[in-house]
């Protein structure tokens, strides 16, 4: 059975470190095997994570009417996501049992990138939670650095040109979702989040102490990442799988919160710049045949088709997110 390794990534910060190359290889092995790894040595302090968790909890403690006043819209996918809004993309199963708050790469109203792509813009920051913007954006900035280290390691491990991946994340479409999962009854059907693959390039998450994240192994079983305190769970998304021609693995995962406690989470999703076209940079593995993906178009389609009455169209390529 596959397992999820824990890797100290601090040697990546210095190419002359005696463990640098071995660390790159361990990361590559994990990403080509199960597509998940736990990481330590990031430089992100537990206190920073605790501050973000406290702000996340406070955002969901806002009164219901105020949350609804900040809800996402079809024209601006930022803000509050109501409980039960999302269901599996194929229409099967019950609605996912969580509420969320969506944040995107922060740009001002007059930022020039908005002339090229209307998906960019400022976030909604709830006035009821002072300091949330500063705390979360500082954490976000630190995770940008962690993502850059990991992308650089994958460039080396896959034998790609230097910066070919990292350069795609200038003015990116990276986003975060703050999440609140109420406890599910022991005999309750459905999921906090149903089994799915991530459509981004790379996901980084600070595990909630109550647990609930489960990862599918190649034999169809489910395992829980054994992430040490202060560590992070990282997984490959469909875009990196596509860039690698199928060598890196985007793996199904789900959330089931049967802990009896409230669960809070705030995953970081690394997504390239709006005009980047993701296509294999290496010869695809046998049987790996997927269309290229325009990041702006794909992102717009993901957000559009999250609405229950919207469906994907023939011009929306599928990156492998359907779970068989």
pLDDT tens column, 178-191: 999 999 888 888 88
Residue 121 backbone zone (phi > 0: left; psi -120 to 50: alpha; other: beta): left
| Separation of alpha carbons 306 and 164, rounded Å | 31
pLDDT tens column, 147-171: 999 999 999 999 999 999 999 999 9
pLDDT tens column, 297-324: 999 988 888 887 887 777 676 655 554 4
| Separation of alpha carbons 101 and 85, rounded Å | 12
The proportion of the chain whose per-residue pLDDT surpasses 70, expressed as a percent, equals 95
For residue 145, the model assigns a pLDDT of 98
Strand partners, 103: 176
| Separation of alpha carbons 200 and 174, rounded Å | 8
Please state which of the ranges 43-47, 115-119, 191-195 shows the lowest mean pLDDT. Answer: 191-195
Residue 303 CA neighbour count, 13 Å, CB half: 22
Residue 75 backbone zone (phi > 0: left; psi -120 to 50: alpha; other: beta): alpha
For the chain, the average pLDDT equals 92
pLDDT tens column, 248-266: 999 999 999 988 999 999 9
pLDDT reading at 111 higher than 60:
yes
Q: What is the residue-wise DSSP string for 11-62? A: GGG-TTSTTHHHHHHHHHHHHHHTSEEEEE-----HHHHHHHHHHHHHHHTS
Q: Quick check: 302 and 199 in contact, CB under 8 A?
A: yes
Residue 298 backbone zone (phi > 0: left; psi -120 to 50: alpha; other: beta): alpha
The mean pLDDT of 221-233, rounded to a whole number, is 94
For residue 104, the model assigns a pLDDT of 97
pLDDT tens column, 59-94: 999 999 999 999 999 989 999 999 988 765 555 557
């Amino acid at each position: 059975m596959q397992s999820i390794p824990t890797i100290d990534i601090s040697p990546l910060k210095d190419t002359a470190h005696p463990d640098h190359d071995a660390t790159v290889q361990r990361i590559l092995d994990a990403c080509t095997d199960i597509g998940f790894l736990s990481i330590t040595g990031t430089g992100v302090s537990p206190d920073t994570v605790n501050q973000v968790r406290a702000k996340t909890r406070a955002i969901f403690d806002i009164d219901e009417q105020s949350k609804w006043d900040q809800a996402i819209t079809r024209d601006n996918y930022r803000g509050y996501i109501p409980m039960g809004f999302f269901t599996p993309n194929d229409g099967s199963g019950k609605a996912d049992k969580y509420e969320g708050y969506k944040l995107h790469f922060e740009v001002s109203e007059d930022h020039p990138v908005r002339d090229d792509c209307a998906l960019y813009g400022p976030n909604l920051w709830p006035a009821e939670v002072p300091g949330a913007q500063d705390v979360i954006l500082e954490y976000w900035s630190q995770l940008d650095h962690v993502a850059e280290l990991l992308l650089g390691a994958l460039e080396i491990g896959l034998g790609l040109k230097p910066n070919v991946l990292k350069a795609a994340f200038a003015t990116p479409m990276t986003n975060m979702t703050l999440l609140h999962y109420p406890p599910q009854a022991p005999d309750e059907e459905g999921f906090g989040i149903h089994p799915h693959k991530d459509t981004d390039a790379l996901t980084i998450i600070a595990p909630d102490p109550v647990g609930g994240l489960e990862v599918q192994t190649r034999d169809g079983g489910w395992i829980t990442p054994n992430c040490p305190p202060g560590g992070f769970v990282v997984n490959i998304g469909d875009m990196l799988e596509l860039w690698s021609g199928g060598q890196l693995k985007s793996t199904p995962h789900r959330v089931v919160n049967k802990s009896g406690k409230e669960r809070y989470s705030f995953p970081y999703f690394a997504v390239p710049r709006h005009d980047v076209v993701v296509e294999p940079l290496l010869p695809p593995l046998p049987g790996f045949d997927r269309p290229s993906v325009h990041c702006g178009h794909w992102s717009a389609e993901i957000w559009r088709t999250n609405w229950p009455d919207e469906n994907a169209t023939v011009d929306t390529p599928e990156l492998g997110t359907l779970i068989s």
